[in-house]
Structure 1
Amino acid sequence: MAKYKIWVVAAATLLLLAGCTSLPGTSSSSSSKATKKLQTTGKVTDSMYEGVIDNGQYKTSQTRGLTTQQSNTSFDVKSLESGLLKLSKEQFPTSKYVFQEGQSLKTAQAQKWLARKSKTNTEGLNPEDNGQKDPNKRNPIYLQQILEQDYLGEDGSMKGMSIGLGMNQVDYYTKEQYGATFETKISKAMMTQQGKQMANKVLSRMRQKKGLSDTIIVIGLYKQAPKDSLVGGTFFAYGVSKKGSTTIDSWHELNQENQVLPVVNDEKAINQDDATAFNSFKTQVETFFPNLSGVTAQTHYEEGVLAGMNITVNTQFYSETEIMSFTQYIATAADKYLPRNIPLDISITSAEGMQAYVGRASGSKGFTTHVFGSY
């Protein structure tokens, strides 16, 4: 969601893949002669990583989307991925490293780690089932998903790795097959304690893998959003392991929040000024163009400050000229009413799909617009 935003940041990954339109086998314009061994996608902007191409194909992730039995929201899968990417940029600058989807932790092994520990699965990171059904007595599932991202040097060698651990704040379960769903709520203190313990176990195991004994490894702890949430979760801590250490002794706490606007269920706005600005934008747009099904925003805050906003406008337009006029008006209204100096994405959609896009990069004063299907 900001460079980040729940979807804003997810866009960073999509753009990374979009870079694959570059001819396979080409390397970055800034690459040295040593990079000839490494095939990359090229990149559109300096804020993005080049991606790795292996034998003419993009290498896909071994762990993306893996989860325990309870379902993730699509927001959580995207937010974990994009948030981890942002954390990684602080340790692995895009100018010096190349991005590769996680390859060291294989799918089958990750599934074992996500499962409960048992006699048949000693690798399980989640606690054994104690047989209890009471929400406050049972051992909950703490770890919900795991994601690996790799960072290579210009010569193609592994230089760094980031691992995201998605921790539950609510564990959903049934007392019998196909029965009603119950909840075990997990406190922030317990979620943090379990996350840090699991992080050290994961780190120790990764150090035993070939080529990772001295690699810089970043581990981020991510708080899963509740099942009915309209936004994804957030990272609440991360640590960096260097020089082959098998424990993270120093953790950095993060203060991140996501919220939908307009607020729902009498929820209090994280920042009332931002909520008021969005409501003014929403009212103006709906007044000018009555054929709308809704205008909503997903916001991302870091240390209480708005860091990104992703707006979806659902329309009933079918005329291309209507869409073109509406897109221009959206850009004008966004410039007038919405907060400045933040990444801003506005998607204009209908039942038929994406119709237009309006966006502004962080620090930029102008908007980029595009109407799909027009020439």
Structure 2
Amino acid sequence: MAVVAIALAACGNLKNSSFGSNSNNTTTTGSKTTTTTGSTGSDFYQGVIKNGQYRTSKSRGVNVSQNDNVMNLKSFEMGLLDVSKKQFPTNKYVFQEGQYISSSTVENWLGRYSKNNKDGLNPKNNGKKDPNTRNPIYLQQLEEQDYMIQNGSKLSLGGVTIGLGMNSVDYYTKVQYGATYETNISTTELTTKGKQYANTVLQRLRHKSALKDVPIVLALYKQSSNDSLVGGNMIAYGVSKSGSTSVAKWKSLNWNNYVFPATSESKNAGANNNDESDFSSFKSHVQNFFPNLSGVTANAHYKDKSLSKLSVNITTKFYSETEIISFTQYLATAAKRYLPSGVPVEITVKSANGDVQSFLARTASGSSYYTHVFSDQGNN
């Protein structure tokens, strides 16, 4: 959402946006080389800029290349930010992409344990091909997030969050380029393995002088399967303080993602029936108003059985600029009337070829929707 806000600021007028004030005040260190991005609202962290460039992660995007659900990466990162806010509030900490774990280190840790890779966290290959007897790949991805403390003109490391993405399904082939098979991994098993790996990672991090005594949050993420229409969800986290090398207490998280409307592949047993009913009413009125639609779906994000965010995706069959403007105007009215209140809502309208045509958003406390129609003419 932060990326969307930046993109919108570049192409349109944000003065009526409900994302909050877009501050461009920056904090500079004594060397005049490190600044912060400024805040776009209390829900977001400021980021770190060094030598005029955003400080990117040293290991971002490294994962075991076997999961084809692109929703997992985005859901993993956003879930990790939400967990981090519990320990590192946005008004006290500045976000920095991971700087202490290199890509090569993450690649080794995500690999299988072997004679040539004794740092591998995943179990060694036992040579078996049966889905119930082989050793699966449990750990799919690992991400580091750093949280800085601003002291006057200086930024110092205040803590680190490490996310471990655990497979619920491990995909493999019995022969090269052969058919794909699956090993299903229960939530209990992946949680047990995840906690074990988290403590091993924690012990390794404590050997780094910069990370010896800072708080470190370890979070476990359950990856969704390749055929899932939504990403996975965070299932547990723990905090290591005062240089400890193990997590003494883990807190379970009841976070879930659902697709509206439900399909035969997506079961919405944990979703609120009223929320799904509200979306159905919204969808019905939208499709009646504009029949030239390919689809209207939503990703519903729940925390402790309560809706925390709704992301609506609409695909159109029309390209007329006037149609898109009228349709966006109608969506703002229909969304305000039918969609659940008290939660953040995003609505993205795309063409059949994937081009974004318009965007609408409302904060949890807002009543009206910010809207923007994208124009190829550059005059909107």
TM norm structure 2: 0.90
Amino acid at match of 2:358: A
Give the match for residue 224 of structure 2: 225
Query: Unpaired runs of 5+ in structure 2?
Result: 12-22
Is the CA contact 1:19–1:42 (under 8 Å) kept in the aligned structure 2?
no
Give the match for residue 66 of structure 2: 70
SS in 2 for 1:219: strand
Of 99-108 and 64-73, deviating more is: 64-73
Distance in 1, Cα, partners of 2:367 & 2:324: 23
Matches within 5 A, 1:1-375: 11-12=1-2, 15=5, 29=25, 38-154=34-150, 155-265=154-264, 267-269=267-269, 270-350=271-351, 351=353, 353-373=355-375, 375=380
Amino acid at match of 2:219: G
State the 4+ residue runs in structure 1 displaced beyond 3 angstroms. Answer: 12-21, 27-38, 266-269
**Closer, same or farther: CA 228–106 of 1 in aligned 2, 3 Å:** same
Distance in 1, Cα, partners of 2:128 & 2:279: 47
Distance in 1, Cα, partners of 2:188 & 2:86: 26
> Identity percentage over the alignment?
50
Give the match for residue 20 of structure 2: none
**Closer, same or farther: CA 357–201 of 1 in aligned 2, 3 Å:** same
Q: Deviations over 1:288-317 (max 9, x none)?
A: 111111101011111111111100111122
Is the CA contact 1:16–1:50 (under 8 Å) kept in the aligned structure 2?
no
Q: CA RMSD of the aligned region, Å?
A: 2.1
Distance in 2, Cα, partners of 1:230 & 1:274: 18
Of 278-287 and 64-73, deviating more is: 64-73
**Closer, same or farther: CA 176–33 of 1 in aligned 2, 3 Å:** closer
SS in 2 for 1:235: strand
Q: Deviations over 1:102-157 (max 9, x none)?
A: 11000001000000000000000001111111111111110000011111111221
Give the match for residue 3 of structure 1: none
Distance in 1, Cα, partners of 2:319 & 2:7: 30
Give the match for residue 8 of structure 1: none
Structure number with the bigger relative contact order (C-alpha 8 A, sep ≥ 6) is 1
SS in 2 for 1:153: strand
CA shift for structure 1 position 34: 6.9
Amino acid at match of 1:156: L
**Paired residues, what number?**
360
**Closer, same or farther: CA 35–13 of 1 in aligned 2, 3 Å:** farther
CA shift for structure 1 position 29: 4.0
Is the CA contact 1:142–1:171 (under 8 Å) kept in the aligned structure 2?
yes
Of 251-260 and 42-51, deviating more is: 42-51
CA shift for structure 1 position 62: 2.1
CA shift for structure 1 position 43: 2.0
CA shift for structure 1 position 263: 0.5
Of 31-40 and 163-172, deviating more is: 31-40
Of 118-127 and 31-40, deviating more is: 31-40
CA shift for structure 1 position 12: 3.5
Amino acid at match of 2:124: E
Is the CA contact 2:258–2:268 (under 8 Å) kept in the aligned structure 1?
no
Distance in 1, Cα, partners of 2:83 & 2:229: 23
Query: Unpaired runs of 5+ in structure 1?
Result: 1-10, 22-26
Give the match for residue 5 of structure 1: none
